[in-house]
Amino acid sequence: MDVNPFVQQACKHAAAAATQLVNSSTVAAKSNSNAASQLKMSAQTRAMCDETIPHIVQALRASALLSANDDPTPAQMALVSAAQEMIQVCHTAQVYLEVGTSFCKVL
pLDDT at 100: 52
**How many Å apart are CA 8 and CA 75, to the nearest integer?**
10
**How many Å apart are CA 93 and CA 3, to the nearest integer?**
29
**How many Å apart are CA 79 and CA 4, to the nearest integer?**
10
Identify the band that residue 96 occupies on the pLDDT scale cut at 50, 70 and 90. Answer: low
Identify the band that residue 18 occupies on the pLDDT scale cut at 50, 70 and 90. Answer: confident
Q: Three-state DSSP class for 37? A: helix
Identify the band that residue 26 occupies on the pLDDT scale cut at 50, 70 and 90. Answer: confident
pLDDT digits (tens, 9 = 90+) for 56-82: 889 888 888 888 788 888 888 988 888
Amino acid at 52: T
Task: Find out whether 28 and 98 touch, Cβ atoms under 8 Å.
Answer: no
Please, what is the end-to-end C-alpha distance for the chain in angstroms? Answer: 34
